[in-house]
Amino acid sequence: MSGMRSGLVEITDLLWPVDADGRRLPVRRDEVAGRLAGAGQRRAARIVSRMPATGGVLDPEYLDALGFRVHCELQRLGEELQLGRRVAALLEPLLARTGAVRVVDVGCGLGYVVRWLAATRPLGDLVELVGIDLNPVIVAEAARLAKAEDLDCRFERGDALAAVGAMKDGGRTIVISTGLLHHLPETDLPQFFAAQAGLGVTAFAHWDIVPCAWSTLGAWVFHQARMREAVSRHDGVMSARRSHSADVLLTAAQSGAPGYQIAVLETKWHPRALDVLRPVLGVRS
């Protein structure tokens, strides 16, 4: 199967652009709707066209509130998929083997995995838990939620393609993500892995959806049944349709991080959707 379906866009990829300093940029409704319509995603264009705007610019307060609601719904999906346990099951032996002391979740959104690890501590009390996301409002919300439950973890704003801030001591850091890779075009994947290799991280493990008809069908049914937001319903299915194949991920990781032993931990039997999300794992040689 080929990699990401070229041209398909998720609505949430277009709603929260920020400049290099993390300041939010205005979002023109007609531009977003036009881009979605241009990609043949007319339903998505209609969803955006119904969003409130002033002078053609989407209402930033509405977008922030929408972002929070969408991420909360996404967290519910993560809970059903047992994302925290899946991550912990892989990281526990990896931490023991490599001596890493820090786990950094890039593109963490509301930081569900980081906060779950902080709440349940399956990796022990000494591992530092950090979440990074590009959206400053979501990062602030993640920090607020962690504080509300008195969780020992922190969140920073940063770009998944760089993410230097939290990884100054890369040699003792494991970088993870869940559901991030399909947001990156195939051409950017080597750079994504190269950024982590450049920091000399101990290991990386990035979970994403297995692309197949079953995962797309499952995503559609699940999002129709469970999600309230039209944006969530659209983007949930688009995520499955855009996800990268194991071959694409393997090639990109080997190209971007040549000093690492790479594997995509995907079962060979069908339907692969039973894996739900599987990681591409890289361990420094």
Q: Is 116 in the site for another protein (CB under 8 A)?
A: yes
User: Mind giving me the DSSP string for 153-176?
Assistant: -EEEE--TTT--GGGTTGGGEEEE
Q: Is 73 in the site for another protein (CB under 8 A)?
A: yes
Q: Is 125 in the site for another protein (CB under 8 A)?
A: no
With beta carbons less than 8 A apart as the criterion, state whether 72 and 141 touch: no
x-or-dash pattern for another protein, window 205-224, by CB under 8 A? -------------x--xx-x
Nearer CB in complex with another protein: 113/163: 113
Q: Is 234 in the site for another protein (CB under 8 A)?
A: no
Question: Which residues, 6 or more positions from 140, have their beta carbon under 8 angstroms from its beta carbon?
Answer: none
Tell me the C-alpha distance between 100 and 169, whole Å: 10
Determine whether 149 is exposed, middle or buried from the number of CB atoms within 10 Å of its CB (0-12, 13-18, 19+).
exposed
- Sheet strands side by side (includes 203-209): 154-157, 128-133, 102-106, 173-178, 203-209, 277-284, 260-264
Total residues at interface with another protein (CB under 8 A): 43
Helix 189-198 × helix 246-256 angle, to 10°: 40
Q: Is 121 in the site for another protein (CB under 8 A)?
A: no
x-or-dash pattern for another protein, window 77-106, by CB under 8 A? ---xxx--xx--------------------
Nearer CB in complex with another protein: 32/63: 63
Stretch of 50-58, 71-79, 197-205, 247-255 contacting another protein, by CB under 8 A: 71-79
Q: Which of 1, 164, 213, 274 binds another protein (CB under 8 A)?
A: 274
Tell me the C-alpha distance between 225 and 236, whole Å: 12
x-or-dash pattern for another protein, window 13-52, by CB under 8 A? ---------x-x----------------------------
With beta carbons less than 8 A apart as the criterion, state whether 229 and 10 touch: no
What is the chain's percent helix, strand, coil content, to nearest 5?
50, 15, 30
Least distance (Å) between residue 274 CB and another protein: 7
The residue type at 38 = G
Binding footprint of another protein on the chain (CB under 8 A): 22, 24, 61, 64-65, 67-69, 71-73, 75-76, 80-82, 85-86, 110, 112, 115-116, 119, 136-137, 139-141, 144-145, 148-149, 151, 218, 221-222, 224-228, 274, 276
